[in-house]
């Protein structure tokens, strides 16, 4: 069997956000949010996957949203590239999902909790050794919880997960291993197949069960991510080289600053015609005006 890569946002949404994925998503969320306990018994997928309508390489991410039985909203996102401003976007999306619950004049007591669960294919918190990190509102000095913990940010950093099949113990271990390694597998490992929802996730991820249109869109998404990575690498390399040369002529510090700026400009140039100007601005840190001048 050949499995699609769950780390691709399109594939992630198909596996966890399809209408038939409810049991898969319940198991996944119970594992990553509640230590494998059956806290979530039912949920509603708010924005279900509709293939092959998710098209176009200018989209930067495709999230999954669900409403739990306790009326808690969960936003689940798979992020492959570490873009500038990404941390702010996560916080913004969670705050926005919290605030739009109320119509003008409605009472604040009607607000329900929001959890933003983000899986990253890069390290976000280099000072934290754990794979999963949970952030909530606390008092700054004595770390006492805020009376209402309605906003929670949960991050799963895939590069920090180093367990092999033989090391898998918890349900969370198995789900994280599935996301990180399914693309390299040719069969469903026995230890994974013992969990019905994970076995079902492998079935959804099997390329043999996908339409030609879905496979074409998936290929577009993978090319899109690959092109972005290459553009960033090339821009950084050329920017560093230019910075070194300028540094020789004008002094190390001046060269360093100009090298950083040249790096951003080169990255932007590589992305012209591939991404829209807002995305290029967000990735490089250049202003929209600077990107438009390059265009």
The confidence score (pLDDT) of residue 231 equals 63
Q: Is residue 52 part of a domain?
A: yes
Phi, psi of 77 (to 5 degrees): -135, 140
Tokens 């018994």 map to which residue? Answer: 41
Mean pLDDT value across residues 21-35: 96
Tokens 């990107």 map to which residue? Answer: 291
Let me know whether 171 and 289 are in one domain: no
Let me know whether 162 and 179 are in one domain: yes
Q: Is the pLDDT of residue 224 over 80?
A: no
**How confident is the model over 29-49, as pLDDT tens digits?**
999 999 999 999 999 999 887
Q: Is residue 288 part of a domain?
A: yes
SS3 assignment, position 89: helix
Q: Is residue 1 part of a domain?
A: no
Predicted confidence band at 164 (pLDDT cuts at 50, 70, 90)? very high
Q: Is the pLDDT of residue 154 over 50?
A: yes
15 vs 291 pLDDT, higher one = 15
The radius of gyration of the chain's CA atoms, rounded to the nearest angstrom, is 21
Q: Is the pLDDT of residue 55 over 50?
A: no
Let me know whether 204 and 249 are in one domain: no
Instruction: Tell which of 157, 176, 209 closes a domain.
Output: 209
Instruction: Tell which of 193, 209, 225 closes a domain.
Output: 209
Mean pLDDT value across residues 41-67: 71
Q: Is residue 4 part of a domain?
A: no
Q: Quote the CA–CA distance of 162 and 165 in Å, as a whole number.
A: 10
Q: Is the pLDDT of residue 225 over 70?
A: no
Let me know whether 179 and 164 are in one domain: yes
The confidence score (pLDDT) of residue 104 equals 87
Q: Quote the CA–CA distance of 182 and 178 in Å, as a whole number.
A: 5
Q: Residue 34: which H helix or E strand, with range? A: helix 22-34
Domain hosting residue 270, numbered range = 213-294
- The strand pair at 132-135 and 151-157 is best described as antiparallel
The confidence score (pLDDT) of residue 160 equals 96
The confidence score (pLDDT) of residue 57 equals 38
Mean pLDDT value across residues 177-185: 94
Q: What percent of the chain has pLDDT over 90?
A: 49
Let me know whether 65 and 202 are in one domain: yes
Number of domains making up the chain: 2
Residue 186: asked if its preceding bond is cis (omega within 30°), the reply is no
Let me know whether 199 and 122 are in one domain: yes
Which two tokens mark 61? 């991410």
Predicted confidence band at 177 (pLDDT cuts at 50, 70, 90)? very high
Q: Is residue 112 part of a domain?
A: yes
Instruction: Tell which of 191, 209, 227 closes a domain.
Output: 209
Which two tokens mark 111? 């607000």
Phi, psi of 220 (to 5 degrees): -60, -40
Question: What's the predicted TM-score (pTM) here?
Answer: 0.75
Where is mean pLDDT largest: 151-155, 183-187, 208-212?
Answer: 151-155
The confidence score (pLDDT) of residue 56 equals 45
Q: Is the pLDDT of residue 295 over 90?
A: no
HSE toward the beta carbon, residue 226, CA cutoff 13 A: 6
Predicted confidence band at 189 (pLDDT cuts at 50, 70, 90)? very high
Which two tokens mark 44? 């509603």
Q: Quote the CA–CA distance of 102 and 116 in Å, as a whole number.
A: 19
Q: Is the pLDDT of residue 269 over 60?
A: yes
The confidence score (pLDDT) of residue 250 equals 55
Predicted confidence band at 284 (pLDDT cuts at 50, 70, 90)? confident
Let me know whether 154 and 243 are in one domain: no
Q: Quote the CA–CA distance of 80 and 7 in Å, as a whole number.
A: 7
Q: Is residue 121 part of a domain?
A: yes
Q: Is residue 2 part of a domain?
A: no
Q: Quote the CA–CA distance of 93 and 76 in Å, as a whole number.
A: 11
SS3 assignment, position 242: helix
44 vs 261 pLDDT, higher one = 44
């Amino acid at each position: 069997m050949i499995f699609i890569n769950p780390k691709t946002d399109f594939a992630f949404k198909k596996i966890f956000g399809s209408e038939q994925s409810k049991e898969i998503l319940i198991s996944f969320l119970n594992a990553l949010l509640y230590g494998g306990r059956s806290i979530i018994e039912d949920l509603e997928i708010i924005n279900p996957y509709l293939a092959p309508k998710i098209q176009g390489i200018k989209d930067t991410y495709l999230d999954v949203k669900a409403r739990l039985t306790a009326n808690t909203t969960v936003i689940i996102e798979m992020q492959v590239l570490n873009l500038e401003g990404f941390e702010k976007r996560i916080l913004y999306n969670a705050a926005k999902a919290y605030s739009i619950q109320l119509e003008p004049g409605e009472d604040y007591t009607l607000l329900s909790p929001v959890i933003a669960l983000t899986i990253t294919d890069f390290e976000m918190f280099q000072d934290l050794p754990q794979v999963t990190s949970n952030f909530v509102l606390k008092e700054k000095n004595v770390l006492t919880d805020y009376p209402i913990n309605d906003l929670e940010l949960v991050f799963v950093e895939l590069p920090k997960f180093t367990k092999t099949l033989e090391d898998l113990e918890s349900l969370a271990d198995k789900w994280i291993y599935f996301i990180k390694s399914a693309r390299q597998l040719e069969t469903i490992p026995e230890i994974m197949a013992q969990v019905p929802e994970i076995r079902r996730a492998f079935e959804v991820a099997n390329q043999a069960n996908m339409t030609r249109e879905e496979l074409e869109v998936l290929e577009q998404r993978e090319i899109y991510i690959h092109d972005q990575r290459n553009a960033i690498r090339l821009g950084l390399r050329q920017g560093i080289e230019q910075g070194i040369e300028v540094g020789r002529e004008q002094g190390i510090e001046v060269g360093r600053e100009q090298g950083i700026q040249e790096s951003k400009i080169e990255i932007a140039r590589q992305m012209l015609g591939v991404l829209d100007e807002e995305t290029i601005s967000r990735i490089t840190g250049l202003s929209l005006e600077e990107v438009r001048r390059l265009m």
